[in-house]
Structure 1
Amino acid sequence: MADATGELLAIADELYALDLAEFTPARDARAKELKGTDLAKPVKSLRKPSTAAWVVNLLVRHETEQVDQVLAVGAALRAAQASMSADELRTLTKQRRQLTAAVTSQARAVAKERGVRVTDAVADQVAATLTAAMVDEGCAKAVRSGLLVTTIEATGVDEVDAGAAVALPEALGFAAVPRASVTAAPPPSRPQLEVVPDPEADLKVRRAAEAELARAEAELADAQTGLDEAGEEVSRLEARGLQLQAEIDELRSRIAELEEEHDALDEELAEAEDTRDEARASLDDLTRARDAARDALDRLSG
């Protein structure tokens, strides 16, 4: 069974290395040759790759070293991501994008040598697939197989079914056989991408982690100081609030007393006004009586 799988992968490797237009007739011819064997049906079932998938497969075989560098950088980024600071991750993410753009540009050049013009839409799919290979280990295996039938997208967060993007489930873990470059000399714009091992990488990562920890502890201390100061201010304001509430309650009590005094005064005022009105009426009556007596006396005297 292992030999049959290995033979099937070898046949698939040959077919997916062909030009896109040659794939279907070559596949059918090979399946016809294998008629009567256990390999005939699986060979016939091999799917024709999309244009973007074919470009990535082409890149894997004709620019194998660059693709391996891309995958190595992706593996290093995934391994170091947990221990790096935000600034370092932003820098590495920018470098990853630059690397992806450079290799995608090279893929367009390789496809052009085979007489295939890569549109911007296809180039975007190629770039997305290379990015997926850098952020997801399963996608990296799918790309390195050179047996992609469709492109891949991955964010590094959600799980990706990389097996659905390759011609055979066994392709994950298979590495496409490198082919000679189509032209003897590479184009002038070919990017020279190298991954140089850094002997102090672990030390740098540790120092970066220590610096990040020190920065976080300093920020935590500042935050604690701010919290303490804010707590003191809250306590001061709460005490002042209680004092003002006590003063308000005292004033309300005093207002209630004054309102009672005012109500009593209103009653006394009403009684005094009644007494005054009665006295004025009595005075008017007496004044009239006096005037009448004076008139009577004047008449008697006359």
Structure 2
Amino acid sequence: MGKTTPSDSAPLAEAAAYLYGLPLEEFTAERNARAKDIADKEMASQVKKLPKPSLAGWLMNMLTLHRRPAVDEALALGVELRAAQENLDQARMKDLGQQRQRLLAGLGKDSLALAKELGHGVSASVAAEIEQTFRAAMTDPDAAAAVATGRLLRALTASGWDAVDLAGAVGGPFDRPTSGPASGSQKAGDDGDAEVEDARNDLEDAERTLADADDDAEDAGRRIAKLQDRRQDLSSEIEELQRRLTELRNDLRSLDGQIDDAERVQSGAVRAARDAQRAVDKAKRQLERLLG
């Protein structure tokens, strides 16, 4: 980046837009390298102080960069919602509220898919932060403008229709549409400020990852317990089936023996019947001779 003047915020905004559009793992090294290449010391210092975004902040920026139509749709819906709220149009609010729910659910899913596409596995809790950030952007025009910069540092939260806290929410220069420069936009300070903010965001992401991992471990533990119970049930069923199989085999052997006995009886009866038939035939011949 070429030489700039401290009063010109455009080069800083340009540098910030570039940096916050990078893969999260490349941010710190690229920020420091760009700051080192800037001739103007004041501008270099401001670039060096740009904080690394949290995972949720980074993913919001990626949505703004790679899914801009969906982001614009959400922000446009926010304009309609705020107008309906201002006009106390309850019917319109209800209709728009249903649209918002569908849109937020879709954006949450899109954020997970985009993160995976960009090589980052994120949890459902991060997707929830994405949804709450869009909800805040639909509530407050300043929050909407912050999202539109593509330079968010963290997730945003809304409390009803109150103004959203944007302190430390945007990296680089940011003018609130409703009140001019935001008090929470990037300010001048010690070069160590960015490193501290980076560390805080890294800690938040690590703590969130730990919490998600703990939840996953608990879920896995419960599933293991259920599977073990099911295994025990199946083992008991197998034992019962094996016992029943033994009984059936014994019954089969008994039936085989009875069949053998019955076949022997049948053979004897057949022989006796043949002998009886011969005796009948002999008696008939004897009677015929006597009568003839």
TM-score range, shorter chain: 0.5 to 0.7
Match of 2:25 among 18, 21, 24: 21
Q: Distance in 1 between matches of 2:45 and 2:38?
A: 9
1:112 aligns with 2:116: yes
State whether residues 163 and 169 of structure 1, in contact with CA within 8 Å, keep that contact through their aligned partners in structure 2.
no
How far off is 1:124 after superposition?
A: 0.8
Q: Distance in 1 between matches of 2:167 and 2:126?
A: 21
1:86 aligns with 2:90: yes
1:32 aligns with 2:36: yes
Q: Which amino acid aligns with 2:104?
A: T
User: Secondary structure of the equivalent of 2:10?
Assistant: helix
TM-score by length of 1: 0.54
Q: Which amino acid aligns with 1:38?
A: E
Change (3 A) 1:4 1:169: closer
Q: 1:1-302 counterparts in 2 under 5 A?
A: 4-34=8-38, 36-170=40-174, 172=176
Q: Give every structure 1 segment of 4 or more consecutive aligned residues whose post-TM-superposition deviation is greater than 4 Å.
A: 171-174
How far off is 1:4 after superposition?
A: 2.7
How far off is 1:35 after superposition?
A: 5.0
Change (3 A) 1:87 1:80: closer
Q: Distance in 1 between matches of 2:150 and 2:19?
A: 10
State whether residues 75 and 144 of structure 2, in contact with CA within 8 Å, keep that contact through their aligned partners in structure 1.
yes
Q: Which amino acid aligns with 1:30?
A: R
Listed one character per residue, the Cα deviations across residues 165-205 of structure 1 (whole Å, up to 9, x for unaligned) are 1012426569xxxxxxxxxxxxxxxxxxxxxxxxxxxxxxx
Listed one character per residue, the Cα deviations across residues 250-273 of structure 1 (whole Å, up to 9, x for unaligned) are xxxxxxxxxxxxxxxxxxxxxxxx
Q: Distance in 1 between matches of 2:145 and 2:92?
A: 26
How far off is 1:110 after superposition?
A: 1.3
Q: Distance in 1 between matches of 2:23 and 2:38?
A: 22
Largest Rg, 1 or 2:
1
How far off is 1:85 after superposition?
A: 4.3
How far off is 1:87 after superposition?
A: 4.3
How far off is 1:36 after superposition?
A: 4.7
TM-score by length of 2: 0.56
Q: Distance in 2 between matches of 1:54 and 1:114?
A: 11
Q: Distance in 2 between matches of 1:61 and 1:91?
A: 29
User: Secondary structure of the equivalent of 1:168?
Assistant: coil
Measured on the aligned residues, the alpha-carbon RMSD in Å equals: 2.1
User: Secondary structure of the equivalent of 1:165?
Assistant: coil
User: Secondary structure of the equivalent of 1:99?
Assistant: helix
Change (3 A) 1:2 1:29: closer
Q: Which amino acid aligns with 2:61?
A: N
Partner of 1:199: none
Q: Distance in 2 between matches of 1:80 and 1:91?
A: 10
Q: Distance in 1 between matches of 2:175 and 2:89?
A: 36
Q: Distance in 1 between matches of 2:76 and 2:53?
A: 25
Q: Distance in 2 between matches of 1:160 and 1:58?
A: 21
Count residues with an aligned counterpart: 174
Listed one character per residue, the Cα deviations across residues 184-243 of structure 1 (whole Å, up to 9, x for unaligned) are xxxxxxxxxxxxxxxxxxxxxxxxxxxxxxxxxxxxxxxxxxxxxxxxxxxxxxxxxxxx
State whether residues 16 and 57 of structure 1, in contact with CA within 8 Å, keep that contact through their aligned partners in structure 2.
yes
Listed one character per residue, the Cα deviations across residues 8-31 of structure 1 (whole Å, up to 9, x for unaligned) are 100111100000000000001111
How far off is 1:71 after superposition?
A: 0.4
Q: Which amino acid aligns with 2:43?
A: L
How far off is 1:161 after superposition?
A: 2.9
Structure 1 unaligned runs (5+)?
175-302
Q: Distance in 1 between matches of 2:42 and 2:58?
A: 27
